[in-house]
Amino acid sequence: MRDFSQSLPMSLLRAREAVMRQFRPSLREHGLTEQQWRILRALAAIEAAEVTELARTAFLLGPSLSRILRDLEARNLIERKTAKTDQRRSMVSISKEGVKLMASVAPSSEAIYAEITQRFGARKLAELQEMLGELEQSLAGPGAGDGAGAEE
Amino acid sequence: MRDFSQSLPMSLLRAREAVMRQFRPSLREHGLTEQQWRILRALAAIEAAEVTELARTAFLLGPSLSRILRDLEARNLIERKTAKTDQRRSMVSISKEGVKLMASVAPSSEAIYAEITQRFGARKLAELQEMLGELEQSLAGPGAGDGAGAEE
DNA sequence: CGCATCAACTTAACATGTTAAGTATTTTCG
DNA sequence: CGAAAATACTTAACATGTTAAGTTGATGCG
């Protein structure tokens, strides 16, 4: 079997970790985890979103999002109100405090991203992202199960 | 600020998730998590390894590895014995049962990997891995902290 | 209308990620 | 030699990943 350290999953894992290692210290100084930061960024770009929509945007599973939203709400970084037309849905939005926190983190975050871009090269970065998108596309859909197991 | 769904961390996260989604069902059928599978694969390639070395190979943090090794040992998939020359170190190796389990998972795992390679294209896959390696390299070393915070 | 079904979350339970602290053993050096 | 520092793990504590089950509010339909 192929040396697993050369496998695609490991390559992706190591690359992502190398990138996130750059951001984590800064986020940590502001009391945010990577996932919390993703949610705030997603919310900052829109007025309000339903939980399910937010999960899709921030690429988090429902249960994780539920917990994080509970915590962010307790910290007054986001606000919730149930939708008028459907009591099941809740509309989530970023609070004033949330906006303020984002403003305090954004400069450092931008600087780190710029540093990464500069180190790796802007053109290569664009190429890489293009390929990652294609990979994602090529694996979307029916799934590459091996057929040996129960498809259910 | 850049639409965060287009950011490098998100691209890497989505790509990796797209890949792992292919493998998880098969691993799950065999009662293994992704991390447990990584450890078994790493161990299968060598006679025995120290915990620290294994952590580096399987790309796991010490605490995660400690827990997982405890569980794998309880399931008799691995074996441990403390090193003769240094009582602090323990040598970990895969057990017969572990080898058997690997043999039962490997075919499906290989098939899935082949399917991914075929869908995305072998040449592109090689290119992608090359770029991921370069990204990792370019971010190794001093760290791209923004300098605004405490370097400690 | 009323019941079965579906939809949107939320909770629960267990595994891992992440940082800090603890433990046991070795090494370094005065 | 023996105390201090370093090394190799392990535990602890809290956050998230992942799947299954539970809750509550909508919807479809006879």
Q: Is the CB of B69 under 7 A from strand D?
A: yes
Q: For residue A59, how far is the Cα from the chain centroid?
A: 5
Provide the pLDDT for residue B149: 43
Banded pLDDT at A3 (limits 50, 70, 90): confident
Q: Are A50 and A64 in contact (CB under 8 A)?
A: no
A57-66, pLDDT tens digit by residue? Answer: 999 999 999 9
Least Cα separation, residue B62 to chain A (angstroms): 16
By C-alpha to C1' distance, D12 is nearest to B63
Strand C interface, B 72-111, C-beta < 7 A: 86-88
Which amino acid type is present at position B47? E
Q: What is the CA radius of gyration of chain A?
A: 19
By C-alpha to C1' distance, C12 is nearest to A63
Domains and CATH numbers, chain B: 7-138 (1.10.10.10)
The first and second tokens of residue B54, run together, are 């294994």
The set of strand C positions with any atom below 7 Å of a protein CB reads 7-13, 15-20, 24-27
Residue in chain A closest to B149 (alpha carbons) equals A26
Q: Which residue has the higher pLDDT, A40 or B149?
A: A40
Provide the pLDDT for residue B33: 97
Banded pLDDT at A116 (limits 50, 70, 90): very high
Q: What is the DSSP letter of A49?
A: E
Q: Do A132 and B25 touch (CB under 8 A)?
A: no
B44 contact residues in A (CB cutoff 8 A)? 1
> ∠ at Cα B137 (B133, B141), nearest 5°?
155
Provide the pLDDT for residue A141: 72
Strand D interface, B 75-114, C-beta < 7 A: 86, 88-90
Q: Is the CB of A152 under 7 A from strand D?
A: no
Q: Are A83 and A89 in contact (CB under 8 A)?
A: yes
What average pLDDT does the segment A14-21 reach? 96
Residue in chain B closest to A110 (alpha carbons) equals B1
* Predicted ipTM of the assembly: 0.92
What's the rounded Cα separation, in Å, for the pair B81 and B79?
7
Beta partners for residue A92, in sequence order: A49, A80
Q: Which of the nucleotides lies closest to B17 (Cα–C1')?
A: D17
Provide the pLDDT for residue B86: 95
Q: Do A111 and B17 touch (CB under 8 A)?
A: no
A55-99, pLDDT tens digit by residue? Answer: 999 999 999 999 999 999 999 999 999 999 999 999 999 999 999
Q: Is the CB of A93 under 7 A from strand C?
A: no
Interatomic CA–C1' length for residue B90 and nucleotide C2, angstroms: 67
Assess whether pLDDT exceeds 60 at residue A140: yes
The first and second tokens of residue B35, run together, are 């991390």
Q: pLDDT of chain B along its 152 residues, tens only?
A: 678 889 999 999 999 999 999 999 999 999 999 999 999 999 999 989 999 999 999 999 999 999 999 999 999 999 999 999 999 999 999 999 999 999 999 999 999 999 999 999 999 999 999 999 999 999 987 655 554 444 44
Of B14, B26, B129, the CB nearest to A59: B14
What's the rounded Cα separation, in Å, for the pair B78 and A136?
35
